[in-house]
Amino acid sequence: MMLRPPLRRKIISAVFVGFCAASVAVALVPLAFILYFVLRQGVSSLDLAFFTQTPKPVGESGGGMANAMVGTLIMIGMAALLAVPVGIISGVYVSEYRRSKLSAAVRFSADVLNGVPSIVIGIFAYSLAVLPFGGFSALAGALALGVMMIPIILRTTEELLALVPSSLREASLALGASRARTVFQVILPAALPGILTGILVALARIAGETAPLLFTSFNNRYWSTRLDKPMASLTVQVYTYAISPYDDWHRQAWAGATVLIGSILIFSLLARLAARRLERMHLS
């Protein structure tokens, strides 16, 4: 009898559990709705042509977004080529020289940059890589996406390096390894699984960006892999089709959105799997 909690405590506990459950529901409902609507509208429009053909001229129905899918892949690939080295190396700097003034400045700028609306980053890339060369280009698009990735990778790298036990650093230094060797051959490899996950998460995030591409890589209805010319991307293509007056284009926009969401989902899953595997290799 003595051990039974008083009624008041039971009620309070129930109220809080209910509150938590409600919060979870509120958080998940929008995601469920998005998935439901996109899949319902999009899956029916997916066919082989969608993955293999380029857009048909206005008025003709059918066609696909093959060029946009390839365009997105090319641009996020190039963005990664820019952002991964810059992000990791500056992350290493900030983590190694934790107390320096420059580190504090870099950390602060990274946080600000992370919060800058993506359209503003688009304008930045526009003035840097579109205006001077007199035209939209895939490179400008990749630049905008890369600039968005840098702060994410930088902060992830820094945080994960801080988690590496200092005993590893001591062990390496005590063997006569220089600081650079210690960082690049001991500390960075130890943090690698986490950093890789961070990179994949950043990639998944920028793959879904439209605003920075609108006036950098613009769009292209034709098959093009030239980096100095406008290039199609899934997001801009979805946007263009979604605001068009044609039913067939609306259908294709839903299909495009489905592909986008599906690939980001698969990507995130792969990221988790890869990280888990790497970590297991480290631990056993």
Partner 1 sequence: MTATLTPGKTLPRSLVPLSEVRNHRSQTPAVPAPPKVQLRKMSFHYPGRLALQGIDLSVPERSVVAIIGPSGCGKSTLIKSINRIAETSTPIRVEGEVLFDGHDVYSPGTDLVDLRRRIGMLFQKPNPFPKSIFDNVAFGPRIHGTHRRSEIEGVVEKSLRQAALWDEVQDRLHTSAMALSGGQQQRLCLARVLAVNPEVILMDEPCSALDPISTARIEELIETLRERYTVLIVTHNMQQAARVSDRTAFLLNGSLVEVDTTEKIFTTPGDRRTEDYITGRFG
What is the contact surface with partner 1 in residues (CB under 8 A)? 165-178, 181, 185-186, 189-190, 281-284
Non-local (6+) Cβ contacts of 68 within 8 A are: 232, 233, 234, 236, 237, 256
DSSP states of 136-154: --HHHHHHHHHHHHHHHHH
102 vs 175 by CB, closer to partner 1: 175
- To partner 1, the closest distance from the beta carbon of 89 in angstroms equals 21
CA dihedral 250, 56, 50, 263 (to 10 degrees): -70
- To partner 1, the closest distance from the beta carbon of 164 in angstroms equals 9
Residue burial 154-172, b: 16+ Cβ < 10 Å; e: rest: bbbbbebbeebeeeebeeb
44 vs 185 by CB, closer to partner 1: 185
103 vs 224 by CB, closer to partner 1: 103
181 vs 229 by CB, closer to partner 1: 181
Q: How far is CA 179 from CA 96, 115, 158, 161, 163, in A?
A: 10, 33, 17, 14, 18
97 vs 108 by CB, closer to partner 1: 97
Q: How far is CA 148 from CA 67, 84, 130, 186, in A?
A: 23, 11, 17, 28
- To partner 1, the closest distance from the beta carbon of 67 in angstroms equals 43
- To partner 1, the closest distance from the beta carbon of 280 in angstroms equals 9
- To partner 1, the closest distance from the beta carbon of 274 in angstroms equals 17
